[in-house]
Amino acid sequence: MAKMKAAMAAVLVMEKEGVTQAFGVPGAAINPLYAAMREHGGIGHILARHVEGASHMAEGYTRARAGNIGVCIGTSGPAGTDMITGLYSASADSIPILCVTGQAPRARLHKEDFQAIDIASIAKPVTKWATTVMEPAQVPRAFQQAFHLMRSGRPGPVLIDLPFDVQQAEIEFDIETYEPLPVYKPAATRKQVERALDLLASAERPLIVAGGGIINADASALLVEFAELTGIPVIPTLMGWGSIPDDHPLMAGMVGLQTSHRYGNATMLASDFVIGIGNRWANRHTGSPEVYCKGRRFIHVDIEPTQIGRVFAPDFGIVSDARAALALFVEVARERAAAGTLPDRRGWASECLARKGSVEYLRKTHFDTVPMKPQRVYQCMNRAFGRDTTYVSTIGLSQIAGAQFLHVYQPRHWINCGQAGPLGWTVPAALGVRAADPTRRIVALSGDYDFQFMLEELAVGAQFKLPYIHMVVNNSYLGLIRQSQRGFSMDYCVQLGFDNINTPADEPAMGYGVDHIKVVEGLGCKAIRVHRQEELAPAIAQADAWMAEHRVPVVIEVLLERVTNIAMGTEIDHIVEFEPLAAERADAPTAVSASMLD
C-alpha cells in the first residue's frame, strides 16, 4: 500500500482504465486533480475555451474509436452545469464519457459557498450515475465503479464530483493490484436466435434495421456477414449509418421523416417483416407507429431491457448486446445455409436494389444556380471526398440534407449527435475525433448558426494542432426552424443576415452578416469563401495544402441561396419533395448490379 492524495489515486485509476487523453478547463476547485495529472504524466490534456465544448470533445473522442472513453474535467459550479448538455447528448446516444468536477470543501456545501452547487442531483437524469464523493478513501472505488457502469449494459456517461478537501486528503491505495471490474453485457441465447430465424423464414420481404448499438458494439462486420448469409437488405438508422457501406448491394437506404432516402422509405413500406438490432425506434426514424408498423411484424434486439416495447410492442424481443446477438445469428445462419434451409431472398433483394438505383427514387443534385443550392454542394463533396472520409455533424437543414445526399462507407465515419442535437456541437466534436485519430480525413458539416454557437473552440484546434476541414453552408438563416415555421405562416426571428459595415458592397457575402473568414482567421485558423460550384474542388485542394503546412482547422464557407426547403414530412409515407426529382445522378450511391446478389 502507498500513501497518496485521493486526487492522485483518481489519476492512477483513470490511467489504468485506459485513459490517455482528457479535455477540460482548470479552476480553483479542481486544481488538486490537475496537480496530480501534472505530477504523474501519462494523461494528455487539451484546454477547451468552454466547458460545454470540452464535454463535446470528449464525446467526439469516444465516438471516433471503439473502446475509447472521453474524459472532461472542470471546476465547481458553472463548469458542471456547462457539462449538462454534453452529458445529455452522450446519454441520449449511449456514449460513455466521464465528467469530473471540482466542488467546494465538504464543510461548506450547505453554506451557499462560492460556485457550490449540487451538481450530482442536477446531472442524475442525464447520466448512468452521478455522485459527489464525500469520503477520500472512496475516490478510487468511485472511479472504478464509473468505468464499470459506463461499459456495462447500455453505455452512457457518468459524473464524479470531488470536493476540494476530498481531493487533497491522503489515503492508502495500491494501484499495482488494481484491476478494472468485469464488464456486464446481456447476450442472446441460441434458443432465442433460432426462434428469431424461424420467424424471419416465414417472411417474404424482410429487412434488418441496423442501429447505433451495432456501431457501439463494434459489430458492423458481423452485421454485413449476417445480411450476406441471409440475403436480407439492411436499413441503417442515422446512428447506424456506416455499419454497412452505402454501395453494398444489400444497403437499402435510410428511413425516416428527415434523414432518409426516397428508396429507403419505399422499401420499408414494401416490407412485411423487420428485425431491429441495436436501435431505439426513434420517432424521426419511424414517424407514427401506426404507419411504420402497419402490415409488418417485428423482432427487436437491444442491450437495454426497457427499450423492448417502449415505442411499440414487437412480435419477439431479445435483450442482448448487438455483437453477442449478431455472432450467434451468424453462427445459426451458417448452419442453416449449409443445410439448405435458409430462404432464397435474391428476388426481394434485387427489387430493393432496383429502387436504390432508379432515378425515380433519387433527389436532384445537379443545380447550376448561384448562390448555390445545398444539394449541389453535397454533390461536389461526394466527388471531392473519398470513401475514407469521416463526417461530423449535429442538427439543422445542413445535417438533414447531408444525410440525404452524402455517402458513408465505414462504421464511425458518420459521427452525429442524434437525439439531443445541440447547436455548436460540431466544432468541438470534430476536434475530439481528431484527438482520437491523428490520421483520418475529417470533414465537419455545419450551417452558419451551428457554426456560430461554439466557433471559439477553433482556437483549440489552432493551439493544439488539430487539423480538419469544416464545411459551413451559409444561408444566413436558422434554416430548419424557418422551414418548420411554414406551418405557422411566418418567418419570424430566424434571419441571421445583416449588412456588415466591414463587408464591401460588391462582395457577394454582403447581407449575410457575420464575416466568418475574418473570425476564423482571428482564431488562428485558415478560411476560404466559395460562391460557385466550380470553386469548391480548388478550395478543398487549398484546404488540404494549408492543413499539411500549418496543422490547423480550415473552414470552407459556401454561400447558399437564402431559402431552400429540404425534403421531409410527418410520416414515412408522406414526405414532401420541394425540389424536382433527379433526371440523372452521376453521384448515385451505388454502381452495383443485381448479379452481385448471387
CA atoms within 13 A of residue 483's CA, in its CB half-sphere: 19
Q: Which of 21, 19, 49 is nearest to 462 (CA)?
A: 49
State which amino acid sits at residue 138. Q
Q: Which residue has the cell 434451409?
A: 341
Q: Which of 109, 269, 481, 519 is catalytic?
A: 481
Whether the CB-CB separation of 53 and 454 falls below 8 Å is answered with: yes
Cα dihedral value 423, 427, 428, 430, nearest 10 = 120
Q: Which of 12, 13, 19, 25 is catalytic?
A: 25
13 burial (CB, 10 Å; 0-12 / 13-18 / 19+) is buried
The C-alpha cell at 132 is 459527489
Query: How far apart (Å, rounded) are the C-alpha atoms in residues 203 and 198?
Result: 9
DSSP H helical ranges for 271-416? 283-286, 289-293, 322-339, 346-357, 374-384, 397-405
Q: Which of 13, 19, 46, 51 is catalytic?
A: 51
**Helical axes 536-550 vs 374-384, angle rounded to 10°:** 50
Which long-range contacts does 348-352 make (Cβ < 8 Å, 24+ apart)? 348/204, 348/205, 348/206, 348/231, 348/233, 349/231, 349/232, 349/233, 349/249, 349/250, 349/594, 349/597, 350/594, 350/597, 351/270, 352/233, 352/250, 352/252, 352/263, 352/267
Helix (H, G, I), strand (E, B) or coil at 111: coil
Whether the CB-CB separation of 191 and 325 falls below 8 Å is answered with: no
Q: Catalytic site residue 274? A: no
Q: Catalytic site residue 87? A: no
Cα dihedral value 69, 73, 78, 80, nearest 10 = 40
Radius of gyration for the chain, computed over Cα atoms and rounded to the nearest angstrom? 25
Q: Catalytic site residue 377? A: no
Q: Catalytic site residue 193? A: no
Q: Which of 274, 330, 423, 536 is catalytic?
A: 423
Query: How far apart (Å, rounded) are the C-alpha atoms in residues 198 and 325?
Result: 15
What are the beta bridge partners of residue 160? 100, 131
The C-alpha cell at 449 is 448558426
Q: Is the Cα torsion angle 385, 455, 447, 472 positive or negative in sign?
A: negative
State which amino acid sits at residue 395. I
Q: Which of 400, 478, 520, 566 is catalytic?
A: 478
Q: Catalytic site residue 392? A: no
Whether the CB-CB separation of 99 and 165 falls below 8 Å is answered with: no
- How far does Cα 333 stand from its chain's mean position? 31
Whether the CB-CB separation of 466 and 60 falls below 8 Å is answered with: no
Catalytic residues: 25, 51, 423, 478, 481
